[in-house]
């Protein structure tokens, strides 16, 4: 087999170049003939271009059988007669695994299945490549040789490029009959059940809308080569202009950040990339298909590279290809998407500010590919009670705009194009959920006391004024964490003192005397607004954020402190500073607060009756020296999400590393217990406001560690209260004395079993 990769036109193409093959495929599809004749011509075109004894195309049928549709080299009488079950034989294995299969001794492969009617008994070498579209295998391209030989990586890569086009052709209606194309379309739009990771509980249904939509559908082959070449040229010019504009808008960047952007521009202006695109267009492909073809070749080549830097450049190349496809479709920018009355937003990843831009009356659920349970977008989604499932990158390919989608935030799965039975099942499940929430509401006035008499304070998290009615609904004893940064992220400029004061006063009024702990704006990391000249950081989670930014930029925090003092006039004001690392940072923050107090006194403005200062313990350094920090504040609060992130050195926004580490790790639990013991020796009470308290097993563990003050999402208050009343904290503490010293990766399963044996409610 000899298929050369595409080369730039100025370098020339031999008769064996893939450009020639694409042109022959185009000619075969354009023939005035029956669907079967066109397919046979296509198979022959591929076979004549390949130094192989056999080339065959198998297509998937509605019953998931793989039917031999065309062959060059096998017995032609076997066409439409030979069928393989899904997963049967080497061809079935390729379809089932969605991956290429290469062997130089096919008859002795464990999966080999012999079909005497095909006459392939003398064939030894086998290369099978799946025809994949929208994440589904539509068939298999098979190349075989009598001689035993290993197909090279270049040959496999080239076969994959051909298979990609075959899949597009099968679905486009350019090759098969109308009936056969309809069958393919039916397979592509079958109901799908995808398993991911539950992030925000609840059931939601609606129609899919992409945050960044995939490229529009298009034909594979063109009838006007010159016209397609002109479209490609225009698209490239628009792409390059947009990259130049992006760099001009970020002229303040320097160093590594500037180099990254300049490298991105080099790719956009790369002559060989343009030449390969033009070569694909002149072979008969549309401009869009040319971009996808070259993109697939680049991806295959870069994924084989050992150099991690080269592999990282794949993201730049993919992004450029995606941008070019958008320009070819006529779109000049992404823009906010139009929503349905009931919308499920689908995205690979997104930030909290993006989420807040959408109309919450119609946004019912979220399906994200690459975010963790403790990412800020997850925290905001929880606050808004938007069911969310992540770990579903394949959903981007499995559903289309407008498809009906059900998000099950409890089971961590989604249903794309669900059947009527599934819809009815979830309708019943939603009703049962309402009954469950009603049961929790009926218990909201019950005391939060463990079986062994430990009083537990349960407060809730909030970040918006409309969160406040949940206080009364859940029976929470106050707001243990009010995230003030949301107001900073949603606007086009820094919020004014008056607008901040108005929000804080409204929140305090709605709290009706219950305590509200305002955390000063925790900005930085992944939480920046467009108007902030934050700069680029290689590791923003450990960079200029939280209290660090506040003391460096008094113009940011002083207006906020001024607004808080005014809003809490004649009341008790609770202020908590985020991302405290050293005790000395509290001195800097207090100095800024004192200046605002002095300013208010000079202007004869009313002040709070009392001011309580708190610090968030979010770094191992702060946890280790929690006693020193406690001497300078009135209360402490463990930010479990960030503390776990830094303890495990695992980015909270990266689902791939987050799933490797469980907070139920004995080392982390021992670390938390040590922090709680140190805090207990001071007069500063310690609370826990991490999202981990939403996990009933982790929450029970925290009670056993001696932590008795909590703040959590409103949806978790009811289940937490019920769990608290069903356990004996002393028994858990004794069990931990025995189990925590033992080396384990996680004690989740053992602890869950312990809780169930002791009748602790962990629903």
Residues labelled as active-site residues = 376, 689
Cβ–Cβ under 8 Å, residues 144 and 52: yes
Which residues make beta-bridge pairs with 483? 519
The residue among 46, 298, 288, 323 whose CA lies nearest residue 172 is 288
Instruction: Take residue 521 and report the two structure tokens written for it.
Output: 């704006």
The residue among 3, 395, 16 whose CA lies nearest residue 208 is 395
The residue among 343, 431, 416 whose CA lies nearest residue 386 is 343
At residue 463, φ and ψ (nearest 5 deg) are -155, -5
The residue among 107, 50, 58, 103 whose CA lies nearest residue 83 is 58
Residue appearing with tokens 């959590």: 712
Cβ–Cβ under 8 Å, residues 627 and 636: no
Read off the DSSP letter of residue 216. P
Q: Provide the strand spans (E) within 490-609.
A: 516-519, 572-580
Contacts of 29 (CB under 8 A, 6+ apart): 38, 42, 169, 174, 175, 220, 221
How buried is 178 (Cβ within 10 angstroms: 0-12 exposed, 13-18 middle, 19+ buried)?
exposed
Q: Give the DSSP H or E segment for 194.
A: strand 192-195
- Rg, Å, the chain Cα set: 31
- List the 83-84 sheet strands across, edge first: 83-84, 66-72, 54-60, 136-145, 125-133, 101-103
CA angle 472, 478, 479 (to 5 degrees): 110
What length is written for the chain? 763
The residue among 762, 747, 580 whose CA lies nearest residue 669 is 747
Read off the DSSP letter of residue 524. B
Task: With both helix axes pointing from N to C terminus, report the angle between 714-725 and 420-442 in degrees, rounded to the nearest 10.
Answer: 60
Q: How far apart are CA 500 and CA 144, in angstroms?
A: 71
Q: How far apart are CA 487 and CA 342, in angstroms?
A: 26
CA angle 320, 323, 327 (to 5 degrees): 135
Cβ–Cβ under 8 Å, residues 34 and 104: no
At residue 331, φ and ψ (nearest 5 deg) are -85, 135
Instruction: Take residue 564 and report the two structure tokens written for it.
Output: 């808080």
Q: How far apart are CA 397 and CA 395, in angstroms?
A: 5
Q: End-to-end distance of the chain based on CA atoms, in angstroms?
A: 59
Q: How far apart are CA 205 and CA 190, in angstroms?
A: 17
Q: Give the DSSP H or E segment for 641.
A: helix 640-648
Sign, CA torsion 331/336/339/344: positive
């Amino acid at each position: 087999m000899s298929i050369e990769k595409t080369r730039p036109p100025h370098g020339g193409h031999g008769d064996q170049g893939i450009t020639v093959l694409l042109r022959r495929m185009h000619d075969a599809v354009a023939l005035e003939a029956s669907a079967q004749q066109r397919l046979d011509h296509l198979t022959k075109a591929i076979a004549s271009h390949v130094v192989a004894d056999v080339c065959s195309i198998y297509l998937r049928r509605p019953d998931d059988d793989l039917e031999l549709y065309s062959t060059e080299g096998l017995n032609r009488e076997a066409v439409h007669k030979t069928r393989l079950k899904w997963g049967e034989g080497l061809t079935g294995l390729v379809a089932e695994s969605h991956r290429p299969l290469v062997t130089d001794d096919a008859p002795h492969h464990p999966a080999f299945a012999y079909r005497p009617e095909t006459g392939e008994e003398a064939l030894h070498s086998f290369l099978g490549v799946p025809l994949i579209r929208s994440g589904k295998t539509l068939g298999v391209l098979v190349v075989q040789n009598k001689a035993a030989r290993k197909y090279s990586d270049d040959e496999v890569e080239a076969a994959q490029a051909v298979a990609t086009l075959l899949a597009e052709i099968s679905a486009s209606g350019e090759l098969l009959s109308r009936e056969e194309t309809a069958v393919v379309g039916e397979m592509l739009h079958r109901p799908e059940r995808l398993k991911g990771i539950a992030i925000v509980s609840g059931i939601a249904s609606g129609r899919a809308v992409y945050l960044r939509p995939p490229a529009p559908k298009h034909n594979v082959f063109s009838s006007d080569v010159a016209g397609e070449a002109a479209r490609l040229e225009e698209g490239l010019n628009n792409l390059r202009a947009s990259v130049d504009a992006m760099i001009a808008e970020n002229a303040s960047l320097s160093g590594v950040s500037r180099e990254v952007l300049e490298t991105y521009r080099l790719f956009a202006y790369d002559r060989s990339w343009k030449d390969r695109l033009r070569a694909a267009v002149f072979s008969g492909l549309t401009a869009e298909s040319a971009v996808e073809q070259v993109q697939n070749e680049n991806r295959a080549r870069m994924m084989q590279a050992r150099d991690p830097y080269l592999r990282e450049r794949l993201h730049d190349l993919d992004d450029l290809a995606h941008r070019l496809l958008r320009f070819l479709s006529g779109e000049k920018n992404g823009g906010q998407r139009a929503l349905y009355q009931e919308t499920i937003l689908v995205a690979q990843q997104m930030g909290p500010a993006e989420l807040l831009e959408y109309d919450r009356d119609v946004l019912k659920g979220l399906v994200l590919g690459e975010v963790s349970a403790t990412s800020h977008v997850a925290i905001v989604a929880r606050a808004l009670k938007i069911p969310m499932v992540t770990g579903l990158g394949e959903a981007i390919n499995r559903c289309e705009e407008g498809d009906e989608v059900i998000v099950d935030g409890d089971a961590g799965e989604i249903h794309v194009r669900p059947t009527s039975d599934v819809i009815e099942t979830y309708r019943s499940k939603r009703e049962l959920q309402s009954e469950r929430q009603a049961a929790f509401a009926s218990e909201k006035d019950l005391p939060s006391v463990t079986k062994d008499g430990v009083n537990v304070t349960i407060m809730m998290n909030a970040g918006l004024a409309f969160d406040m009615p949940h206080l009364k609904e859940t029976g929470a004893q106050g707001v243990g964490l009010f995230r003030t940064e949301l107001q900073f992220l949603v606007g086009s400029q820094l919020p004014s003192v008056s607008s901040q004061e108005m929000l804080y006063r409204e929140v305090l009024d709605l709290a009706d005397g219950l305590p509200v702990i305002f955390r000063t704006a925790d900005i930085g990391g992944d939480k920046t607004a467009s108007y902030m000249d934050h700069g680029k950081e290689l590791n923003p989670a450990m960079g200029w954020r939280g209290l660090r930014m506040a003391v460096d930029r008094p113009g940011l925090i002083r207006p906020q402190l001024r607004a808080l003092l005014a809003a809490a006039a004649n009341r008790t004001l609770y202020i908590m500073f985020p991302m405290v690392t050293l005790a000395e940072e509290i001195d800097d923050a207090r100095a800024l607060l004192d200046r605002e107090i002095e300013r208010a006194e000079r202007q004869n403005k009313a002040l709070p009756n009392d001011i309580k200062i708190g610090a968030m313990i979010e770094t191992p350094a702060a946890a280790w020296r929690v006693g020193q920090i406690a001497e300078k504040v009135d209360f402490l609060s463990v930010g479990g999400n960030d503390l776990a992130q830094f303890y495990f050195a695992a980015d909270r926004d990266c689902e791939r590393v987050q799933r490797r580490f469980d907070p139920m790790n004995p080392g982390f639990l021992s670390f938390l217990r040590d922090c709680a013991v140190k805090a207990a020796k001071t007069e500063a009470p310690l609370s826990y406001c991490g999202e981990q308290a939403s996990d009933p097993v982790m929450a029970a563990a925290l009670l056993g560690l001696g932590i008795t003050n909590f703040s959590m999402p409103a949806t978790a208050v009811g289940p937490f209260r019920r769990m608290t009343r069903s356990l004996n904290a002393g028994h858990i503490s004794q069990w931990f004395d025995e189990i925590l010293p033992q080396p384990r990766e996680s004690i989740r399963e053992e602890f869950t079993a312990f809780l169930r044996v002791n009748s602790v409610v962990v629903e």
